[in-house]
Amino acid sequence: MLSKKLLRAKRVKNDEFYTRYEDVKAECDNYRSHFFNKIIYCNCDTADSAFVRYFRELKAKGLIRDVWFSGGLGGADFRSSESIERLKQADLIITNPPFSLFREFMDLLIKYDKTFLVIGNKNAVAYRNLFTQIKNNKIWFGVRRWTGGMSFVTSDNSIKDVPAIWFTNLEHSFHPAPLRLKKSFNHLEYEQYENADAININRTTDIPNDYCGVMGVPISFLEKYNSKQFEILGLDKDFTYDKGAGIVNGQRIYTRIFIRKSPCE
């Protein structure tokens, strides 16, 4: 039987997805004004990564002060003392951390109040610390849309599609417009949770325009979330009577975010 240490190492190795240069450039070009004269730390990258290549090009043009990367520390883990010291000194953290360690990675950024632009799995929005920051409008999503995820190069040089998105606390030009809500509420058309005082919504197009109660929506709602139109109340387990996933027709359903229209008249 494999030890826990070996199992973890195997999981992390299988989690090594390398970001393509074209994806780094397409997203990072939207934040050029934030990068000027800054020290960028790619703390999950080595010298040959797409991130380091992109920022070395900016440095050569005099557009950033410097780019640091973990390979400069002998490939140090982002949790090592050396890496954390550099993290505290850098102006921005920009990288693609291992998805299996994403919770630990984000906890570190939040702990040290860092400015960042990073890639993570869409499902990571349900991590408590990250979700709280999103709810409080302290973290949001990058310019690239959720639809279709992203393609990465794997350790064997094949291409793998992953449901990934960019997370950031850098301002950018894209802000979701208010949703055009076309449906009126009819209690016969909407299912009530059996373990929460809320209705279940499976698609954002089904959000009623005249309902002021609590609604459970898929995590994909966050791509279209406009803080002037809706209030995020919490995750499903914050509202269900049994502190678990919502139950509809006797079945537990995948993670829901509970919201309410704002303002609601």
pTM score over 0.85: yes
Residues 6+ apart with CB under 8 A from 57: none
Could you tell me the sign of the dihedral formed by the alpha carbons of 37, 43, 44, 47, in that order? positive
CB 222 within 8 A of CB 172: no
Tens-digit pLDDT profile for residues 70-122? 876 556 799 999 999 999 999 999 999 999 999 999 999 999 999 999 999 99
Phi, psi of 42 (to 5 degrees): -95, 85
For the segment 187-202, the average pLDDT, to the nearest whole number, is 95
Domains of the chain by range and CATH? 14-168 (3.40.50), 175-265 (no CATH)
**Which residue, 51, 42, 54, 22, is CA-closest to 151?**
22
Average pLDDT over residues 22-44: 97
For residue 97, the number of C-alpha atoms closer than 13 Å in the C-beta half-sphere is 26
Count of positions (residues) in the chain: 265
